[in-house]
Structure 1
């Protein structure tokens, strides 16, 4: 398409419907409306070329949803897609940007492209119409997907109630801009300055059309940098406008100097690029609506229904950080990679990732169904993990434990993070089994298992050295095997729970231990406490210090009467005080937005005496329990109900908190392990209050104007003080794994599991406040939708880790610790047997200062191993990596790839070790640019 010569302007009208799969209606009610919409669309397209095209906004999952009900329409649907009249992709779903992981976004793009190619060609449109802000790495992700543009509706303009806009404070001179990521990647950005419905329901009759276009033309011209004007013909769940061709003809009659076209995104982009004459503004980094009054950012969806965020964090970690690396390891040993199962698990998880879903801002029925999806996806991941660990463990040579006799029970500890790791591991294993097939009666099996003597059992490593360990007898248990070649095999067993600290487990690798009987002559060290714990040095059996202290090589923790604690970093000498105080305030907002009652003074536990006691004193870890009995208001007062019914915009509400009080019991466990460089907190309470927010406070007392926060493939830098335009008293922000406040010689990282909202307070102490729970009773947005389950009544548990460092979180290892905190340990019981894998083993080794390891998986088409890193820093660094000699077949070739796993260039190798009895191990190297996302493929 070329720029018109005889017409002064061109109006591109693009038909679409913004399809939220679930939101103010449950999924199936939206689903039934979708079937009606696509039926109508196909009928309209069948009538001829007059209605030219339609953009399937909800991305490729919409095809699945439709064909689930109308499978007989597949050929008809496919024809219009291949003819370019229905435009699909590139995503599987339209996800939220800040609450989904980097790898989840990559899988989303990969699955969307793969599914779209089954029907036609995926559109190369970076589409984010209603995303609640955008992460800084979006331009790089788009370019690596072959997409040079982004269409979006939020992030660089003031957006308020009902998507109204103001006339000042724009970060861009026009609705078109250049968006630059932290690595320097640039894409053309198109802002829906008048929203993605500015061409909705175009009138056909002359009078209405005249008025419509008089307004719409002026609105678009106000922001457009060229004479190519964009009109989005559709809105949320909008039926198609069947008479749009007639409406376009009427517009042409009214405005003969303007060319009106039923357009599509590729044609609009082509015309826009050809006609560009104005110099566009360059907007850099994250798009978070920071240059606004702060009332419409929707950031508080990060704390709506926190339980969903916690389930999502676990689900993502189980797939991308555990199941995929283990299945890749097993694949290197000759086992098939379960591609279809992973796709199913990822799709099920990603169905919870649209913004109205993962953000927790829908009706209760939606979020109930999400819980089921999270469970389903996690159960698939757990099944894949079990398969992979059994395959790998079977290849590990555990014959070194033969010397301990028939009672030796080897266990393999897997570290699926990208760095060497030490930490406390807990697992259940069977000390003895009797299978039903052996012919004993149930009574005899129970008697034999109950008679097993578990005394004297200790843990040893592959060298026979005792490892400090706690062994708990769980008594008689039932279990079963599900063999691949015969019927299920039930058994009775005597089960124990072992807890110990696994030390220096290789990155992406394993380390093997065994539970053995202490009186074996084969033990290299008998300094042990039978049946409970083992210590290799009697002078270091406890980490407890003083009345309420814990100390290891790196840190000192002391707990005060009020339950807060002081943390001293022995490496830097810096002490952090008053950590772990809890704050409670009212919330008269909704699922989208937090609003504290006016003039309310926050309640805290600072002046509340706590109950404090030791609950764990083991050689590998010490823990205190801290209990607060805290009275807080039971809810908002009755004014809130009236204001909600009257649809009063939440910043203008006047409700206060009730005078009636309820008591919540907060139980906090503070733990420090022997090798730990951070203090771990687990907080639990039964919430019986409504309309409120609970946060944990961590004063840093560090001098800093900015802070650093984990985002998608990036450690972003943000200002502590908001822009001058900011009016909202709250300045909460999104995070993924951690937030960090630091100065030249010291810093404090607060890592979390699924707690995506934080604030660095302007309190003179640069306190990091992490939201634990936010309880509200309505959806918000365009009407009144009560959501009593968003009050989050009942039991809740939250996990944090506090990690001090030397002022540089990327190089000190603090960020690595925070990333490893996200990843659960994996442990598998196995037998004593020979194998070709050494008891301590890893398939890969790598090094690179400032690089974060992100994923290891297998490409579905090529079978190549795909590894990904990203540079946490804004300077170039070198990545070196090598394949282990222990795998059956050598990996001979490496190449660089984009996130779609398309090869972009070969990598040269060097031989780092060669012998007559071992495979040749090769090393590859490449330069990782500032903030670059690097994907590497390895093939045999």
Structure 2
């Protein structure tokens, strides 16, 4: 007699997917959360069979509830420790591609730290609703002690009709698969093949339950590789099902051959892992839904409300690339590290990182609050930066500058040696005054007793070319630690110059020397070589009549023509999805004569201003509003662009600095129209099958031509700091600041199209939600950098420049004094074999006071990292959670060489004499 088949086990996992803000403002969702949590706790008190509830993988749900009911904290702690409620592993459920590498890590760190305060941390890589998944997720998960990830998008499961051997790249016949990162790290990946609501609202009444379960069991069985079937009991903002225990009793009576469990993620994953088939499909890297028709990858959220992405890029950069490393440097010199302030700033920033928030696909009220959060977080970061640079500059030995000089320091924290134009405002001859004194007389005295003329010198006394402006007498104040506020007047001079070769992760001192000496400025040749042409040692830039650029890279000898024309088309989609009207033709500036004039001509930088005016439709025609109001699918819309035209004027400033290998571009415009998209077009002259884009701890390699299943005419993609197209001997990288959407056109020219504006008037998705602010009317701006390079062997140099483009150098005035720091030095010394390593962050660990520095290998080739600090004598291995490994590296000298495998993320702790 054959043995009976084992029972199918139906794991019902109760949860709610909690979008903190989306189709309602935050506080409306917040009020609903309070009711949802109250009802959940009531169900758990009344029903001992109600075993567990998953809080969506994010600890901020607990924070938001306790904000209203702080007295219920112990109740939540009890439930987490009993395993009935989950905590973590994330702080929020972020969009992975629109938040930085470090923001993804800090999200894990804060989620783990917060969850530990309640009890066990949920060790599940939870990505239920991400609009695509980052390629390095498995490596990040493994470093955080997480071995399973669940996700809702990015892989097309084919079901049992296919066998494992028949599956193709990025597809799986099952909902279970191996998910690898490029470095080889692996987690078990589980796809919500039937979405995360396939077990919501389970009926208790037998007839309805029979119909529900027949469908649910068949659908789950189609994709599952084991007899353990996953039913997710909940959905977006779904309350706990109060009669679930009764509904499961009905199911057990109806299906005696199945086992029904009110389960949890730990038990379900353990059961699945015990019965996995011997050969699962393996998917590697990013999960972006590329084997679909292309309409619902939701990539166009990267261009919805671009102003929000720009604010986010500024905020992230200030925190991770400037405030944290400068505070770490100051900490090594004896200043306390502002853990609390930085933690508050990160939390405030990350409250803007949930996928429906940062993606720009929420109602307008959400973005009013997001802008306030950005300002709060940026304000804290600016305060930390000011305190750290003031403290550090006070430690620099400036005694070598002459008497009467006004010293200041320029700090570089991009991770690389930096050259670039900076502007510093210097206060001359502060005159403090008391309330009893006449401020008018004080201001007049300062004005009459100071001069604005002078010249600029470096730490060696050499003259440096500059331009200056007298800003007059200005009010200021100090807030001393030991006395009342101290108001003053001072004459202010603005000095602009090129700081050349500032040491990586270091600084260089300069001084302004007040003087009426004639011709005090250092003389050097102009960068304007001929009319409408700029040239430095590396590049020649020629501006054509239509405002496009012809750019010659002197090192490779390659010329790139027609760079920088603008393209405008209609958009009758929504915040999630771009949809060009049927038959719509692009309006471009190509061939349109532009106004061109010189606006800056100094020895260190030249800038041309290019002005275009094009006529574009004012909006979509009246059909669009009717189609939106009646929920006509964007795919079926017949709306066209209006026949009424309005002028769009774009003012573009193109700058070439003496020492930079790229061209900086800034565009500004008043958007007068609705329902359209504006892109800048940059023909690379490269037709490679693959291209590269900066992503989360990697430069992702992506196919330029989509899969055979793809029918969407648009094939936009995500980028972080840059996108690059190259072939042997030739390449073009485009850096950006908060421009997260690009497309590589299959036009024979390898044109890189970067979206700088998308205007749309509705949220989209499941209802009618007008979003007039998403039209982005009024003032807009965009910045990018054009970086030619010599192809595969030279591309990492361009990538470093693109990273540096996002990180402005900082300045701080100081006095004439001695100090332990030399006038010019690096405070974290690092180098690598090859050029494929990128420095991600430097901060101070909250628990141990050690420096934690993180790098990642952009290349698949192994590299050797050499790192050291004069302020530490011991180095050790760490991970993304900043846990200290037992492995000590290097010697007692405070330096070490560390092998870094291809695509690997490495975190190094530095401790010893510099730790406080």
**What TM-score, normalized by structure 2, do the two folds share?**
0.97
Shift of 1:265: 0.3
Describe the superposition over 1:456-484 as per-residue Cα deviations: whole angstroms up to 9, x where unpaired: 41110111101111111111211111111
Instruction: Kindly report which structure 2 residues correspond to 1:342-357, keeping only aligned pairs within 5 A, or say none.
Output: 342-357=342-357
Describe the superposition over 1:520-568 as per-residue Cα deviations: whole angstroms up to 9, x where unpaired: 8xxxxxxx734xxx22xx4x33100111010000000000111111100
CA contact (8 A) 1:702 1:743 kept: yes
Shift of 1:812: 4.8
Describe the superposition over 1:314-362 as per-residue Cα deviations: whole angstroms up to 9, x where unpaired: 0000000000000000110111111111110000000000000000000
Residue 807 of structure 1 corresponds to which residue in structure 2? 791
Residue 63 of structure 1 corresponds to which residue in structure 2? 62
SS of match in other structure, 2:456: strand
Shift of 1:158: 8.2
Cα separation, 1, equivalents of 2:424 and 2:452: 18
SS of match in other structure, 1:107: helix
Shift of 1:809: 6.8
1:432 and 2:429 are equivalent in the alignment? yes
SS of match in other structure, 2:400: helix
1:587 and 2:588 are equivalent in the alignment? no
Residue 925 of structure 1 corresponds to which residue in structure 2? 897
Shift of 1:494: 1.1
Cα separation, 2, equivalents of 1:554 and 1:171: 45
Describe the superposition over 1:92-141 as per-residue Cα deviations: whole angstroms up to 9, x where unpaired: 00000110001001000000000001110110000000000001000000
Aligned to 2:461, which of 451, 461, 464?
464
Cα separation, 2, equivalents of 1:674 and 1:16: 58
Residue 854 of structure 1 corresponds to which residue in structure 2? 840
Describe the superposition over 1:832-867 as per-residue Cα deviations: whole angstroms up to 9, x where unpaired: 111110010222211112100000001111111100
SS of match in other structure, 2:434: helix
Cα separation, 1, equivalents of 2:794 and 2:203: 57
Residue 90 of structure 1 corresponds to which residue in structure 2? 89
1:643 to 1:506, Cα distance in 2 relative to 1, 3 A: same
Instruction: Kindly report which structure 2 residues correspond to 1:372-521, keeping only aligned pairs within 5 A, or say none.
Output: 372-401=372-401, 403=402, 405-406=403-404, 408-437=405-434, 440-518=437-515
Cα separation, 2, equivalents of 1:471 and 1:910: 48
Residue 704 of structure 1 corresponds to which residue in structure 2? 688
Describe the superposition over 1:476-525 as per-residue Cα deviations: whole angstroms up to 9, x where unpaired: 211111111111111112111111111111111111000003468xxxxx
Shift of 1:905: 4.0
Cα separation, 2, equivalents of 1:229 and 1:880: 49
CA contact (8 A) 1:806 1:812 kept: no
Shift of 1:648: 1.3
Residue 190 of structure 1 corresponds to which residue in structure 2? 190
CA contact (8 A) 2:167 2:173 kept: no
Residue 340 of structure 1 corresponds to which residue in structure 2? 340
Residue 145 of structure 2 corresponds to which residue in structure 1? 146
Higher mean alpha-carbon deviation, 874-883 vs 314-323, is at 874-883
Residue 524 of structure 1 corresponds to which residue in structure 2? none
CA RMSD of aligned residues (A): 1.6
Instruction: Kindly report which structure 2 residues correspond to 1:627-776, keeping only aligned pairs within 5 A, or say none.
Output: 627-776=611-760
Residue 859 of structure 2 corresponds to which residue in structure 1? 873
Shift of 1:668: 0.4
Residue 38 of structure 1 corresponds to which residue in structure 2? 37
CA contact (8 A) 2:409 2:813 kept: yes
1:362 and 2:334 are equivalent in the alignment? no
Residue 917 of structure 1 corresponds to which residue in structure 2? none
Cα separation, 1, equivalents of 2:900 and 2:890: 16
Describe the superposition over 1:154-201 as per-residue Cα deviations: whole angstroms up to 9, x where unpaired: 001289xxxxxxx99981110111111111111100000000000001
Shift of 1:808: 2.8
Cα separation, 2, equivalents of 1:757 and 1:410: 42
Residue 908 of structure 2 corresponds to which residue in structure 1? 936
Residue 220 of structure 2 corresponds to which residue in structure 1? 220
Cα separation, 2, equivalents of 1:147 and 1:255: 35
Shift of 1:439: 6.4
Instruction: Kindly report which structure 2 residues correspond to 1:6-405, keeping only aligned pairs within 5 A, or say none.
Output: 7-57=6-56, 59-157=58-156, 171-401=171-401, 403=402, 405=403
Residue 850 of structure 2 corresponds to which residue in structure 1? 864
CA contact (8 A) 1:894 1:906 kept: no
**Structure 2 residues not aligned, in runs of 5+:** 159-165
1:907 to 1:880, Cα distance in 2 relative to 1, 3 A: farther
Higher mean alpha-carbon deviation, 773-782 vs 481-490, is at 481-490
SS of match in other structure, 1:87: coil
Residue 777 of structure 1 corresponds to which residue in structure 2? 761
Cα separation, 2, equivalents of 1:143 and 1:129: 18
Cα separation, 1, equivalents of 2:793 and 2:503: 22
SS of match in other structure, 1:475: strand
Residue 598 of structure 1 corresponds to which residue in structure 2? 582
1:5 to 1:754, Cα distance in 2 relative to 1, 3 A: farther
Cα separation, 2, equivalents of 1:883 and 1:74: 43
Residue 161 of structure 2 corresponds to which residue in structure 1? none
1:214 to 1:668, Cα distance in 2 relative to 1, 3 A: same
Residue 544 of structure 1 corresponds to which residue in structure 2? 528
Higher mean alpha-carbon deviation, 429-438 vs 781-790, is at 429-438
1:906 and 2:878 are equivalent in the alignment? no
Shift of 1:771: 0.1
**Structure 1 residues not aligned, in runs of 5+:** 160-166, 521-527, 912-920
Describe the superposition over 1:555-604 as per-residue Cα deviations: whole angstroms up to 9, x where unpaired: 00000111111100011110000001000000000000000011111000
SS of match in other structure, 1:779: coil
Cα separation, 2, equivalents of 1:870 and 1:454: 49
1:809 to 1:122, Cα distance in 2 relative to 1, 3 A: farther
Shift of 1:810: 6.3
1:529 and 2:499 are equivalent in the alignment? no
CA contact (8 A) 1:432 1:495 kept: no
1:481 to 1:928, Cα distance in 2 relative to 1, 3 A: same
Shift of 1:437: 3.1
CA contact (8 A) 1:158 1:296 kept: no
CA contact (8 A) 1:116 1:122 kept: yes
1:809 to 1:611, Cα distance in 2 relative to 1, 3 A: farther
Residue 602 of structure 2 corresponds to which residue in structure 1? 618
SS of match in other structure, 2:172: coil
Cα separation, 1, equivalents of 2:167 and 2:183: 29
Cα separation, 2, equivalents of 1:906 and 1:838: 33
Aligned to 2:543, which of 559, 565, 581?
559
SS of match in other structure, 1:122: coil
Shift of 1:278: 5.0
1:111 to 1:739, Cα distance in 2 relative to 1, 3 A: same
Aligned to 1:572, which of 553, 556, 567?
556
Describe the superposition over 1:41-70 as per-residue Cα deviations: whole angstroms up to 9, x where unpaired: 111212252100000115101111000001
1:168 to 1:594, Cα distance in 2 relative to 1, 3 A: farther
**What TM-score, normalized by structure 1, do the two folds share?**
0.94
CA contact (8 A) 2:429 2:450 kept: no
CA contact (8 A) 2:144 2:880 kept: yes
CA contact (8 A) 1:809 1:815 kept: no
CA contact (8 A) 2:873 2:911 kept: yes
Higher mean alpha-carbon deviation, 265-274 vs 598-607, is at 598-607
Describe the superposition over 1:722-771 as per-residue Cα deviations: whole angstroms up to 9, x where unpaired: 11110000000000000000011111100000000000001110000000
1:905 to 1:873, Cα distance in 2 relative to 1, 3 A: farther
1:559 to 1:452, Cα distance in 2 relative to 1, 3 A: farther
Shift of 1:442: 1.6
